[in-house]
């Protein structure tokens, strides 16, 4: 009796130890392969420098789709397909401009230029611009308190990032509602335009664009983000009781929806070809930068995982899909189409991973899944320690794989890189190729590949 008991206790432990050793050595092979390859960094250079900013509906996005399909073929995909979807087609339409005028203590009229960018999806003021007294509010509560004073005015939303959050995404998550819904909430009370403090904690004056959304019940007024140094100057003037008049010129226009594509490369599963593991990033970006960290790094990491798997002769048990999603920034239509097609085709999505939080040093992953899957994943943590991605948390996912989770209950995860520098450049001019470090980019891909390898081997 005693002997049998010992055997049953020891056998699984031995199997686990052996697996662990073979897993850690395979992950080391992945790491060696990716760190010795220039492929991901070269791909990022081509995407950012040759193609550049690529908003949904733009000619650059069409080029990016063609480039992405070829890059997936070059990386060794068994097949590459384009999934057509209708995407919004917003254009900036011109050079955004704003200024404020006021009287200084000597009674002289001063005009101060503001560094601004129209918010994505917003309607422009047109060449005549809008001009009106500027009124500052620090929150929606304050907006409501001042609702009787807003008619005919331009509202300046000035809610700063919460500096005490360690993860800057929390500050963004808390404040982004001002960018997304601020215009309509002010238009409801008769405001004729809004200026929004940039969603950033940067020390420069670059404005940060990003998607906004109109509520159809109210006039669709112009909306622009202001650089943080200019925000500070405005703040000082308001604090001193100075009366400001603002002028804003924007040219944004929403054209009819147009055709876009998710670009999908596939590695066929040997045992469960109909069970799909998805990994991806979004191919589109804002128009005002090169979309390097957002999300060129997620795209090139996705392609790099495929390249490394093929280079190492890895054959997954499940089919792995490498997806470059269309239109995350101002519509998430690509992610929605991907889930819709999976449903239509009776697919069985078993896991999805997204990289869309920048190409900085990986710290870990955040997961949305049930307790038993979570316990399984938590037992792999040690395998990630050498590569930095060992901080596992719950609650995360990704904008492009959210629809998959909602449709099928698919377990989802996102790569969590260090977030301290992300919002310096997010949706601003500084998000360029030079802001990405090649080794940080590769480390992200290594951790992603390791996670996919383990999910494929052990299931969730």
Contacts of 231 (CB under 8 A, 6+ apart): 158, 197, 198
Say if residues 415 and 353 touch (Cβ distance below 8 Å). yes
User: What is the DSSP annotation of 177-235?
Assistant: HHHHHHHHHHHTTT--EEEEE-S---SS------B----TTS----EEEE-HHHHHHHH
Looking at the Cβ atoms of 295 and 456, the one nearer to Zn ion is 295
347 binds Zn ion (CB under 5 A): no
Nearer residue to Zn ion within complex by CB, 356 or 424 = 356
Q: Does 294 bind Zn ion (CB under 5 A)?
A: yes
Q: How many CA atoms lie within 13 A of 5 on its CB side?
A: 2
Q: How far is the CB of 387 from Zn ion (least distance, A)?
A: 23
Of 297 and 368, nearer to Zn ion (C-beta) is 297
- The answer to whether residue 356 forms part of the interface with Zn ion (CB under 5 A) is yes
Strands (E), 290-409: 318-325, 348-354, 362-368, 391-394
The answer to whether 142 is a known catalytic residue is: no
Report the residue number, 153 or 261, with the smaller CB distance to Zn ion: 261
Q: Can residue 287 be called a binding residue for Zn ion (CB under 5 A)?
A: no
Give the active site residue among 275, 304, 328, 329: 328
Contacts of 107 (CB under 8 A, 6+ apart): none
The answer to the question of residue 354 lying near Zn ion (CB under 5 A) is: no
Q: How many residues line the site for Zn ion (CB under 5 A)? A: 3
Here's the x/- map for Zn ion, 3-42, by CB under 5 A: it reads as: ----------------------------------------
For the CB of residue 121, give the shortest distance to Zn ion in the complex, in Å: 16
Cα–Cα distance, 39 to 27 (Å, whole number): 18
**Buried/exposed code over 388-422 (b: 16+ C-beta within 10 A; e: otherwise):** bbbebeeebbbbbbbbbbeebebbbbbbbbbbebb
Query: Distance from CA of residue 296 to its chain's centroid?
Result: 10
Binding range to Zn ion, per CB under 5 A, among 44-52, 294-302, 340-348, 405-413: 294-302
CB of 244 to Zn ion, least distance (A): 34
Residue in the block written with tokens 């280079």: 311
Judged by beta carbon, residue 51 or residue 221, the one nearer Zn ion is: 51
Q: Is 402 among the residues that bind Zn ion (CB under 5 A)? A: no
If binding is defined by CB under 5 A, does position 414 make contact with Zn ion? no
CB atoms within 10 A of CB 84: 12
Residues 295 to 324 in contact with Zn ion, rule: CB under 5 A: 295
Q: Which stretch binds Zn ion (CB under 5 A): 175-183, 266-274, 355-363, 415-423?
A: 355-363
Residues that bind Zn ion (CB under 5 A): 294-295, 356
* Active site positions, annotated: 328
């Amino acid at each position: 009796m005693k002997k049998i008991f010992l055997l049953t206790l020891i056998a699984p432990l031995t199997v686990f130890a052996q697996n662990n050793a073979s897993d850690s050595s395979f992950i080391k092979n992945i790491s060696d392969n990716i760190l010795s390859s220039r492929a991901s960094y070269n791909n990022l250079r081509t995407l950012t420098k040759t193609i550049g900013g690529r908003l949904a509906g733009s000619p650059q996005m069409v080029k990016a789709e063609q480039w992405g399909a070829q890059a997936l073929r070059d990386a060794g995909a068994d097949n590459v397909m384009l999934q057509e979807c209708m995407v919004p087609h917003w254009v900036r339409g011109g050079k955004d401009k704003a200024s404020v005028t006021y009287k200084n203590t000597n009674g002289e009229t001063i005009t101060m230029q503001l560094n601004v960018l129209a918010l994505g999806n917003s309607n422009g003021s047109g060449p005549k611009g809008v001009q009106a007294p500027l009124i500052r509010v620090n929150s929606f509560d304050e907006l409501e308190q001042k609702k009787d004073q807003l008619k005919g005015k331009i509202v300046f939303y000035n809610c700063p990032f919460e500096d005490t959050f360690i993860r800057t995404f929390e500050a963004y998550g808390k404040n982004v509602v001002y960018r997304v819904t601020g215009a309509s909430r002010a238009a409801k009370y008769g405001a004729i335009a809004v200026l929004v403090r940039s969603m950033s904690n940067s020390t420069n004056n670059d404005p940060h664009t990003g998607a906004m959304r109109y509520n159809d019940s109210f006039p669709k007024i112009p909306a622009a983000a202001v650089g943080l140094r200019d925000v500070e100057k405005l703040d000082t003037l308001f604090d001193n009781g100075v009366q400001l008049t603002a002028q804003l010129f924007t040219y944004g226009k929403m054209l009819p929806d147009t055709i876009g594509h998710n670009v999908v490369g596939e590695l066929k599963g040997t045992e469960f070809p109909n069970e799909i593991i998805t990994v991806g990033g979004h191919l589109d970006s804002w128009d005002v930068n090169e979309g390097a960290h957002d999300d060129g790094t997620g795209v090139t990491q996705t392609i790099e995982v495929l390249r490394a798997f093929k280079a190492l002769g890895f054959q997954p048990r499940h089919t792995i899909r490498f997806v470059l999603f269309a239109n995350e920034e101002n519509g998430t239509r690509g992610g929605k189409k991907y889930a819709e097609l999976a449903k239509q085709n009776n697919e069985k999505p078993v896991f999805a991973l997204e990289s869309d939080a920048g190409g900085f040093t990986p710290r870990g992953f955040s997961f949305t899944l049930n307790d038993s899957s979570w316990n399984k994943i938590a037992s792999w943590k040690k395998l990630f320690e050498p590569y930095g991605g060992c901080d596992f948390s719950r609650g995360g996912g990704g904008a492009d794989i959210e629809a998959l989770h909602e449709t099928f209950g698919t377990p989802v995860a996102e790569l969590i890189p260090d977030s301290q520098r992300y919002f310096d450049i997010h949706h601003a001019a500084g998000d360029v190729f030079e802001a990405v470090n090649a080794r940080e980019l590769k480390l992200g891909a290594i951790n992603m590949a390791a996670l996919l390898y383990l999910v494929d081997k052990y299931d969730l």
